[in-house]
Chains A and B, each alone.
Chain A
Amino acid sequence: MPGDDVRVAMLTWEYPPRIVGGIARHCEGLAKALAKQGHEIHLFTLDFPGAPDYEETEGIRIYRTRSEVGHPNFLTWVLLFNHYIEKRMADVTRLVEFDVIHVHDWLTAPCSIDFKHFSRKPLVFTAHSTEHGRSGLHIPDSFTIDGLEWWSTYEANKIIVTSGAMKGEVCGHFHVSDSKVEIIPNGIEPNKYEVPVDKGAVRARYGIQPHERMILCVGRLVPQKGIEYLIHSVPIVARRRPEAKFIIVGDGWYRDHLEWVANTTGHRWRVTFTGFISDWDLVALTKSADVLVVPSVYEPFGIVALEGMAASVPVVASQVGGLTDFVEHDRTGVLVYPRNPESIAWGIDHVLSNPGHAEWLVKNAREVVQKAYSWEAIAKRTGKVYKEAAERKEQL
């Protein structure tokens, strides 16, 4: 291991422009900050139509790999693309000697574990979530994914999780030693929200009149995000706040069901589903909202809430998982009971009814974001974990 700067092979199945959940954004923010601090980052990921096979951007070398052979079965496809990424890594290794391998989630774990053994380099595994937490273990694929997650935690020299809740989940479910796991939260770029936005125009574009209140929810439309409970809260909120309108941003396989739930509320006209929107539109919409609601039932971290805090929007979030690490009830946001429409409605009304208090929450929230959740701080902590992983490897 050289001095403080390390040469990292980072692996992730999603990286911009291939973006779905938080992993792509996490890897982008972390890789950029690590590169800025002098580390040499080689990022291996999957291809995306229109994106180059290789590029260097902001100090990051990005290798996008196409799986030349496919298969309709998800797990078979995953193992096939791991083979092609591993082949690409082998090619790069002829020219570059890595100090550490850093893999994000189980999807690229098979090739990273192989690479650990043939290169004899330390492996760092970031567990962003678990199959057990995401969907429970009910079908054969889930048991296999759970097994791959366990195998990743076993093979890793160090494990990074983004919240205290995730540490408990990983240590408890996979029987991992506490000392092997480090909590390093997700980060954001607070400057991203320091842009002028014509809130009236943005709101008008989404059908929000000047006298109406905009309640925003952003996330993948999947069951663990708890959006159906927010939709069930719409009639309750409307009784207290007839001027309430709800904007739901994102897409997912659960969308048809959520639209059906919205149809049953008698308030369908209050709810707009936008589908996927651009990064810039999301910043503008977030800054223009009156409340951001994060109604998740499972949330390893909850970066959407952190983004709302950075955008100076009052946050109402479920009291679950990583959200409780940074949303402090009635100080940096409002916590509500998960799976509970009454509680969600209370949280929304609590914020809308007390503008002075909401402003105070926003001020506190911004201070927390700037102090502890910048990518610069997170990259420094990650660099320390790389060094510890190298030391741990020597002990094994």
Chain B
Amino acid sequence: MSYTPLPPVPEEYKVLSMMHNIGAVIPERSLTPDELAMWTGIDISTVRDCLQRLKELGYVEHIQVSGVEKYIVTKVGIMKVLTLYS
């Protein structure tokens, strides 16, 4: 039987992994979508789309810091990231 070639890692998981590696896993180091776009070099609209999908999946959460919209990786999100590397 034939199998499809290995699919690439989905874009949102790349963003999730980068958030984790930057350290956005605690509120003090949460990031705005703009900051995340600058850190990762990914355009802001892609970052926003990925964050929306990751939020729906429970891998990131949205928090308000001094009235500013910021994001951190959740515990389940951290475990998801680690599966990329082990």
Interface string of B1-15 (1 = CB under 8 A from A): 101001101100100
Chain B's closest residue to A105 (CB) is: B86
Complex Cα–Cα for A107 and B13 (A): 20
Q: Does B78 contact A (CB under 8 A)?
A: yes
9 pairs from A and B in contact (CB 8 Å cutoff): A18-B79, A48-B78, A72-B18, A74-B17, A222-B83, A253-B9, A257-B7, A276-B76, A341-B1
Complex Cα–Cα for A266 and B50 (A): 30
Q: In the complex, which range does the number of interface residues on chain A fall in? A: 35 or more
The answer to whether A253 touches B39 (Cβ under 8 A) is: no
Q: Does A70 contact B (CB under 8 A)?
A: yes
Q: Which residues of A contact B3 (CB under 8 A)?
A: 228
Interface size on B, residues (CB 8 A): 28
Find A18's partner among B9, B13, B78 (CB 8 Å cutoff). Answer: B78
Q: Which residues of A contact B21 (CB under 8 A)?
A: 70-74, 76-77
The answer to whether B75 touches A221 (Cβ under 8 A) is: no
Q: A49-B75, A72-B39, A341-B1 are in contact. Are A252 and B83 (CB under 8 A)?
A: yes
Q: Which residues of B contact A254 (CB under 8 A)?
A: 7
Complex Cα–Cα for A20 and B79 (A): 6
Task: Report the minimum CB–CB distance from A261 to chain B (whole Å).
Answer: 8
The answer to whether B1 touches A232 (Cβ under 8 A) is: yes
Residues of A203-255 contacting chain B, CB below 8 A: 220-223, 228, 232, 251-254
Q: Does A23 contact B (CB under 8 A)?
A: yes
The answer to whether B13 touches A223 (Cβ under 8 A) is: no
Q: A220-B86, A253-B84 are in contact. Are A19 and B23 (CB under 8 A)?
A: no
Residues of A65-108 contacting chain B, CB below 8 A: 66-74, 76-77, 107
Complex Cα–Cα for A232 and B29 (A): 43
Find A19's partner among B1, B22, B25, B79 (CB 8 Å cutoff). Answer: B79
The answer to whether B86 touches A253 (Cβ under 8 A) is: no
Task: Report the minimum CB–CB distance from A226 to chain B (whole Å).
Answer: 11
Complex Cα–Cα for A18 and B82 (A): 9
Complex Cα–Cα for A276 and B40 (A): 28
Chain A's closest residue to B36 (CB) is: A72
Interface string of B25-57 (1 = CB under 8 A from A): 110010000000001100000000000000000
Complex Cα–Cα for A70 and B81 (A): 15
Residues of B57-84 contacting chain A, CB below 8 A: 75-76, 78-80, 82-84
Complex Cα–Cα for A14 and B39 (A): 25
